[in-house]
A and B are shown apart, each in its own frame.
Chain A
């Protein structure tokens, strides 16, 4: 048992580096994003909003922060996404729009970094 677990761990380590490299390829600093740009950003989830819209449409809003700035990421139609919680590292790709007077990426393509 012990030997097998170790082997798995080694495999994962290699994979994690590879995944990270691929996922982070082409990301830009959040500070450089602007409205109506197609961007790919990465950061950690600094804040989460639950149920933000009054009419009961399920929405999950998170704030991504990469140290240069923060941007809102909106997942429409979802109340909950497995694996996304406070402190999760996330890569999001999409067009920068606006919500509540802030820059936001709506329904991005996303990757949760391990």
Chain B
């Protein structure tokens, strides 16, 4: 081809193709991922949707509201000691409503406390941030870990309770509860990996359907109870009757234990304070109002269900949840009644699944806060394919699934583990707020201090009560697990900090340190083939002070053949060194040669390793990973550097995966 003149050369120039338009063949893994999760999102698409109050209520309140589906039931279960001993029989129903009222007192205190937090931390004021800000990093780890364990439990409990809502309608599904619960977890995790936007309709429908169904049920129930001559008792089977005839004594411990079981209803109250920035401006005002409305709804529903359940003497069984019994009893067995019953159950199931979903939004975010402060693996801060914290989502799904399998999707077995974590974080964040009032002394700080002080006291007492009364029932796991986790996180942090310190010390001086005088390049060669030739060609472009090919002779005959071939082909410019390796430990042999080359302390050694790249994953199985293992060994030698020189094998002849550079840039 004749040489083109400069003018011709310049007129032939074209602008570069747009950055993302380059057609680089994607790996199979990525293609599968795209099919499963949808197109990868651009970082700019990290949308911050602003939510109005009704939508925000749907998004943030589902966790808290949904707990009414099982909180009353757990109080009754504890008092009756269903399936255990020490139940107090019919007397129990005298205590359900008072205990619920105590819990609602705690709820009121919490709502007022969190109204303070929302105002003080309009940009995301979760327990972690508040505690970190006011009490320091270590208490923040305790608050964070406690909250994380509770997020895991929220998923397990909500999904299990959602499945319970299903099998209360159609009992044969009881046997399938674990697979059903796992299916829900997988679906929710998948949805979150795809990036379910916390957007209105998806959340609003189930949340408001649940609200409507509950208020309708409570309304009809009150009407029938007050004006319609009272509600009939739920028909009983043998186990229920047995539970009702128990004659245990009413002790303070039992009442406290029942109170602690009801604590499950408080989980999720903190959700709004985590998401203040998502509200439409004025953010803190809207968030506060939403929190208050949510608190009122939660209180009414909790109280209503407890009251109805005790009037009707509903006894939870394996087959039917208390809510299902109450709904069935109130609506009767007519066609409309049955329809309303089904509506209640379906709404309950959906809001429970949605509550699990809230954890999938909160857990990864909280974990990323931990990781940002170097207390958790850095991988948790990475946004994945669809701009969500994918690793956090997967971790949560695995942990929750593990719990579901371990405890057989049994809500009453999961509940004892529950709530202690969330109350720990409540206490710490309220203490943090109290400390902040003392520290900053904003206007009306004394009132704030009183509110948050009361909040800290109340939640602290509840935490102790829960830890104490549920200890033998399973809370011990959490009481032991949280300190262990905190210890691990602190160790992790020390590791990260020391790494950081080492890497950053004198980084500037190190960058300006004089370079080593010599550069020696070794090309590792197994046999004389195209991949080796490619590596030698690349080695030449480095123009080192010395360049040689090295063959580790694990097989003497092959070594001799190679030497002969080397001579015959007249590769005179490049010496080939044969190194014996009688113990066949190639890594050690290479290590020795490299160490020798770098021994004078004045030589930078580069080891070039030809590496075949395969089109199909199973081709890789046909060869061992010697190249990678050599590279790992050499990582320990100072001033030894490894470069892989890829050679693309077309494999089955279906065309190489090698990228055509000409096509790329033209």
* A interface list, Cβ under 8 A from B: 45-54, 56, 79-80, 85-87, 100
Contact = CB atoms under 8 A, between A and B. Distances in A.
Interface in B546-574: 546, 548, 553, 556, 559-560, 563, 566-567, 571-574
A46 B571 contact: no
A52 B578 contact: no
A25 to B, nearest CB: 26
B580 A51 contact: no
Q: Which 4 A-B pairs have the closest CB atoms?
A: A86-B580, A52-B575, A48-B578, A50-B576
B479 to A, nearest CB: 62
Chain B contact residues: helix, strand, loop or mixed: mixed
A61 B597 CA distance: 17
B577 interface: yes
12 contacts: A45-B580, A50-B563, A50-B566, A50-B575, A50-B577, A51-B571, A53-B575, A54-B573, A80-B567, A85-B560, A86-B556, A87-B556
Given A86-B556, A87-B582, A48 B577 contact: yes
A26 B375 CA distance: 67
A86 B559 contact: yes
In this complex, the interface size class of chain B, counting residues with CB under 8 Å from chain A, is 20 to 34
Interface string B332-364: 000000000000000000000000000000000
Chain A contact residues: helix, strand, loop or mixed: loop
B556 A85 contact: yes
A47 B575 contact: no
Contacts of B556: 85-87
A85 B573 CA distance: 22
B579 interface: yes
A53 to B, nearest CB: 8
Given A85-B556, A86-B553, A86-B556, A50 B578 contact: yes
Contacts of B577: 47-50
Contacts of B560: 85
A56 B572 contact: yes
Contacts of A53: 575
Given A47-B579, A50-B576, 11 more contacts: A45-B580, A47-B577, A48-B563, A49-B575, A50-B578, A51-B574, A51-B576, A56-B572, A80-B567, A85-B559, A86-B553
A47 B572 contact: no
A72 to B, nearest CB: 11
A53 B198 CA distance: 71
Contact of B575 (A46, A51, A79, A87): A51
B563 A54 contact: no
